[in-house]
């Protein structure tokens, strides 16, 4: 497992001794000549991925603090996302997403061979047509992932490790791909403002219809399709899985440029709830900002509620669907409690960043939330009570990406409440910044007992 010990580093202070606040990084990875847009830590191996604004995808060995491979993955276009995942053949893979409108899947073992990496060809290429800034979403590589359905019909990320969600050439729309299938298996389209419910749009006509799933999805290329996405909502900016436990009804949480959050049923593509992050005006005894505004979606279209002006830049949600974090271009990050059975959302807390702008929000194992800000700091919080663990201050410019990996020294069994309240014994954080550096932290030095 990834820990300070496996990296050849031993903490100088006992766990819990460091006060909440800033502390020094373990080390810095240098090699990028442009802003680093993303970083990902492997769950069980001492490996990291990163991608920058000049299009280079790099694989790092953390114990030796060296670069293993570097390739221009998307023809020199900026990289938005890099993740470890399960490749279509079941082996360990790497996902890269570029501003060229493509998502590529690479074989990790090929990239580990530094000499062959530069000439490596992707195993799979997804032509999304998206050229905006929303990052693709996938389940992390795990050795024990359970595969229930091999026919590609399971749209649940907790059961199907081959699922990838990407933005689309339609600016407000998300696409769900199964890496074993040739075309998207589902599309998530915000309901038409003031119009009828849109469960699934036909590519050519823009009308609702389940028949699109059976034949139309993916039959036409992006160049052959013309849909006015301005009729269906603001540009898609951020995505997260929600309520994605193995036995739950998985949701896709999407954040949009117009400040609206939407929850989609991943199987049916139905928009179940829409929430605005704008403060609610006081009424009666209610205080301003006490409740996030929400509307349930049943047989009618989701109402478009009065919005705040701040675009949503980052979202994170837990696997039980009970809480989510929303970062915007403003100075506050909103923590909301959600009830996806009753379609309710209530504000729990607002976290004030040091400067307007949240570059990323990452949740690890429903225990640790990492918020990367435009103030060049990463803030870590205990997810259960949203208490601050520490502030990581080692960059000179905006944070664009972060990754957290946890190691546990657990007792033999835990109650349901203890399972998500116990912090990891050790956890490593990686942060990527506009300053061109990747910083690795031993975040357990500042953990809350």
Coil, helix or strand for 419?
Answer: helix
Q: Whole-angstrom distance between the N-terminal and C-terminal Cα of the chain?
A: 22
Hey, what are 290's tokens? 């006490």
Of 219-223, 228-232, 268-272, least confident by mean pLDDT is: 219-223
pTM for the structure as a whole: 0.79
286-331 pLDDT, tens per residue? 333 333 444 444 333 333 333 356 899 999 999 888 899 999 998 9
Sign of the C-alpha dihedral computed for residues 225, 226, 230 and 235 taken in this order: positive
Output the pLDDT for position 188: 96
Output the pLDDT for position 366: 87
Mean residue pLDDT across the chain: 76
Of 152-156, 159-163, 327-331, 438-442, least confident by mean pLDDT is: 152-156
Output the pLDDT for position 56: 93
Output the pLDDT for position 22: 56
Distance CA 333, CA 315 (A): 10
Tell me the mean pLDDT in the region 100-114: 91
3-state helix, strand, coil in the chain (%, to 5): 5, 40, 55
- Beta-carbon contacts of 395 under 8 Å, excluding residues fewer than 6 positions away, are 376, 377, 431, 433, 435, 437, 439
332-353 pLDDT, tens per residue? 999 999 888 888 888 899 999 9
| Phi and psi torsions of 155, nearest 5° | -95, 30
Distance CA 284, CA 19 (A): 41
Tokens 């909301």 map to which residue? 336
Of 39-53, 187-201, 231-245, least confident by mean pLDDT is: 187-201
Output the pLDDT for position 12: 31
107, 123 contact by CB (below 8 A) = yes
Output the pLDDT for position 224: 30
Residue 227 has pLDDT above 60, yes or no: no
Distance CA 148, CA 258 (A): 37
Output the pLDDT for position 308: 52
Residue 419 has pLDDT above 50, yes or no: no
């Amino acid at each position: 497992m990834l820990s300070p010990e496996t990296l050849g580093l031993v903490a100088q202070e006992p766990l819990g001794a460091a006060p909440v606040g800033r502390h020094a990084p373990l080390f810095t990875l240098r090699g990028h000549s442009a802003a680093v847009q993303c970083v990902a830590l492997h769950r069980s191996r001492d490996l990291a991925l990163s991608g920058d604004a000049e299009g280079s995808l790099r694989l790092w060995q953390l114990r030796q603090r060296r670069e293993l491979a570097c390739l221009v993955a998307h023809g020199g276009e900026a990289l938005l996302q890099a993740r470890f995942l399960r490749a279509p053949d079941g082996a360990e893979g790497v996902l890269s997403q570029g501003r060229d409108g493509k998502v590529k899947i690479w074989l990790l073992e090929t990239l580990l061979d530094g000499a062959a990496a530069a000439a490596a060809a992707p195993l799979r290429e997804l032509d999304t047509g998206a050229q905006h800034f929303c990052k693709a979403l996938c389940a992390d590589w795990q050795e024990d992932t359970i595969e229930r359905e091999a026919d590609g019909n399971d749209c649940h990320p907790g059961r199907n490790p081959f699922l990838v969600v990407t933005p689309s050439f339609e600016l407000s729309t998300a696409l769900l791909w199964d890496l074993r299938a040739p075309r998207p298996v589902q599309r998530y389209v915000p309901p038409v403002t003031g119009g009828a419910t849109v469960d699934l749009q036909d590519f050519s006509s823009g009308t609702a219809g389940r028949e699109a799933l059976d034949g139309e999805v993916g039959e036409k290329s992006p160049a052959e399709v013309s849909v006015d996405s301005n009729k269906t909502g603001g540009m898609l900016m951020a995505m997260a899985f929600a309520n994605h436990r193995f036995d739950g009804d998985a949701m896709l949480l999407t954040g949009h440029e117009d400040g609206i959050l939407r929850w989609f049923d991943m199987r049916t593509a139905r928009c179940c709830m829409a929430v605005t992050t704008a403060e609610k005006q006081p009424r009666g005894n209610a205080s301003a900002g006490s409740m996030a505004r929400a509307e349930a979606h049943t047989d009618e279209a989701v109402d478009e509620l009065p919005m705040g002006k701040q675009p949503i830049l980052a979202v994170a949600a837990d696997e039980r669907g009970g809480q989510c974090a929303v970062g915007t271009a403003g100075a506050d990050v909103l923590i909301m409690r959600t009830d996806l059975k009753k379609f309710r959302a209530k504000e729990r807390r607002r976290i004030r960043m040091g400067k307007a702008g949240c570059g990323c929000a990452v949740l690890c194992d429903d225990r640790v939330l990492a918020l990367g800000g435009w103030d060049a700091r990463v803030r870590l919080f205990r997810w259960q009570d949203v208490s601050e663990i520490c502030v990581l201050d080692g960059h000179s410019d905006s944070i664009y990406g972060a990754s957290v990996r946890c190691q546990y020294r657990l007792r033999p069994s835990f109650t349901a409440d203890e399972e998500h309240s116990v912090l990891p014994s050790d956890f490593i954080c990686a942060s990527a910044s506009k300053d061109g550096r990747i910083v690795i932290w031993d975040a357990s030095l500042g953990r809350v007992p």
